[in-house]
Amino acid sequence: MKKWLKRIGLLIGVLAILLGLFLSYSYFIEPRQFVVVNDAVAVPHWDGRLNGLRVVTIADIHTGSNFAPPERIRFVVEQANAQNPDVIVLLGDYVSESRFDRERMRTAPDGTDRTELKVPFETVAESLKGLRAKYGVYAVIGNHDWYHNEQKIHRMLEEISGINVLNNEIHEVEANGTTLRIWGIEDLWKNRTVPADAFNALAEKKNIIAITHNPDTLLAAPEGFSILFAGHTHGGQLNWPIFGPKAVFNDPRFMDGLAVVDGKYVYVSSGVGTSVIPIRFRVPPEINVVTLSSNTATMPETP
C-alpha cells in the first residue's frame, strides 16, 4: 500500500512540474516570440498583371494583453514595413479590456466608451503610426473594438494612425495597369450578416481582396472576390500535440492559414496578442506576408 501511495505521489509531483513548465512557457516565453509567416496563394478572379502582389496582414494585436504593450506594437509596425509590402491590412481587435460592464455595453449610446481598456486607444493609435505600403494601408473593426467604441476607434485610426478604415465599402487603386479593390466588411458578430451592397454594385468583380475580422464571414459572403483575409481565431492560442487547436469561437476549418470552402478562399492570421487567457502554446505571435497570383487550377476544398 505504501509503495502505491509513493507511486501516486510521484505521479502527482511529475504532473505538477509538467503543468508548471507548461504554464511558465505559455505565459512568459511564447507570447514574447515573434514570427513572420510567408505564404504564396494562387487565387481566383485575379488579373495576372497583379501576380506577385505582397499583402502583409496584422491581426488581433490586443494592445495591453500579455506582452503586447505599445512598444511591442511599434515593433510590429517596423517588422511589417520591413517586408516591402504592396498592401498592409489590419484585421481588427486593437484593444484589450481591463473591465467589462455588461450593462453599460447594452445601454450606452453609440460613440461612448463601453469598456475600460488596459491601454487608452489614443496610445494604441499612436503606436500604429508609420505603417507604409505601396498601394495603401487598410483596416477593419473587430468585435472587441465595437464593444468599446467603434466610432472613436474608426476616427482615431484614420486621424492619428493614417490608416484607411473600410466599413462595408470598397477602395479602388490603380496597380500595374489594372484596378485593385480592397473590400472592408464589418465584423460578422455585429449584425450576423455580410452587407454586400458595395460588392454587388461593382461592374467588374475581379482583383478583390476582402478584409474582415471574423473568418466565418466567408460562409455568408457572396462569390466573386479573390481572397478574404481575417483574424479573430488567434490560432486557438493553444495548439495541442496530436489534437491540434480547438475552435471555441469560430468554424474549425478557419483556424490559421488558408482554407477553401465553396470555391471561396480565406486566409486567417493567428495574430499578435492574446485574449480571454494570457497564454500561447505552439501558436507564436505572427504577422503574415501573403504573395498572391492568378489561380489557373482548382484548389481542393477544405474538409
Mean pLDDT of the chain: 94
Strand partners, 165: 139
Q: Which of 17-31, 268-282, 286-300 has the lowest mean pLDDT?
A: 286-300
What confidence tens digit (pLDDT) does each residue in 161-187 have? 999 999 999 999 999 999 999 999 999
- Asked if residue 57 lies in contact with residue 290, where contact means CB atoms within 8 angstroms, the answer is yes
CA gap 30, 271 in Å, rounded: 13
Cα 18 to its chain centre, rounded Å, is 31
Q: What is the pLDDT of residue 7?
A: 72
Q: What is the pLDDT of residue 300?
A: 65
